[in-house]
Each structure stands twice: as structure tokens, then as C-alpha cells.
Amino acid sequence: MPLKDQLSDDLKDAMRQRDARRREVLRMALAAVHNAEIAAREELTDDRVLAVLTTEAKRRRESIAEFGKAGRSDLVEKEEAELVILSAYLPEQLSRDEIVEAARRVIEQTGASGAKDIGKVMPALMQELRGRADGRAANEVVRELLSAS
């Protein structure tokens, strides 16, 4: 079943169960997908729907960090609950060791030799990891590996 259809079906279930938080998060996710379809002027593939959901999850993580700094524990809890709901639709995130392994492989394939080659490595690495790793974590790993060489 396409991911967009799964989101719609889960929204209907949340409405039947009167689960307000889940209903609102799924509505927001479907609205983001719909807006992306309007921008692209075509129906999105599962990969592109996944990219939209990944972006929404990233926004929640950033909000959690900012609200935490501001001491707004009520908003942190709300954002964390929304992130849990969104995470159910995302692939499992890779561990740091798995990111290091993939980064080493891509560095070897691209022939990168120093920090100046990050621009060569990152696009290939993110294409390989595709939604299974945070770009910031991958960038840190690549910087460490390239600065060590």
C-alpha cells in the first residue's frame, strides 16, 4: 500500500478512535504531502512522501531543542509525542557505526582525500542512506573521517 494511502487510512482510524493528537499529526502530514504535490505538480512517489515526512520529523526535533532551551517543557512534550507518531512511518535510523561504515565506503568510491572533498562525498552518502540517517550526523562522520586522513 502506498505510504500516502496508509497515512489516509490511519487518519480515518484515528478519527474513529477519537485520538485527537494522532488525528492532528496525520492531518498535518497529509497537508505537507499535499503541498509538496502542488509544488511538484504531480503525485508524489513513496520516496518523496518519505522525504516530506522526514522533513516534518526534523522540524519536530529542532522544535524540541529550541523549546528545551527556552524551558517550555509543555511544548517539548507535545513535540515529542508528535515525533513518536511520525517516526512510525519512517525507516529505522542507522546507528553511528553503520553511518561510519557507509561513509568509509563512499569515501573510498569517490576517492576523497581531505576536508575539501566533503562536497563530493555527502551527496553520494545521503543518496545511499536515503532517510535512514540524519544529515547532520552523517556530515559529522564524514568531516571526522576526512580530517583524519
Architecture per CATH, domain 3-87, reads as Orthogonal Bundle (1.10)
Tell me, which fold does domain 96-148 have in CATH? Answer: Arc Repressor Mutant, subunit A (1.10.10)
Q: Which residues contact 50 (CB under 8 A, 6 or more apart)?
A: 3, 89, 90, 91, 131
* pLDDT single digits (tens) 72-88: 999 999 999 999 999 99
Phi, psi at 114, each rounded to 5°: -160, 180
* pLDDT single digits (tens) 102-114: 888 888 888 877 7
Chain-wide mean pLDDT for the chain?
89
* pLDDT single digits (tens) 28-75: 999 999 999 999 999 988 889 988 998 999 899 999 999 999 999 999
CA 46 to each of CA 42, 58, 61, 123: distance values in angstroms, whole numbers, following the listed order: 13, 18, 22, 20
pLDDT of residue 149: 61
Domain ranges of the chain: 3-87, 96-148
Q: How confident is the model at residue 5 (pLDDT cuts 50, 70, 90)?
A: very high
% of the chain beyond a pLDDT of 90: 50
Q: Where is average pLDDT lowest: 4-8, 97-101, 113-117?
A: 113-117
- CA–CA dist 100, 102 (Å, integer): 6
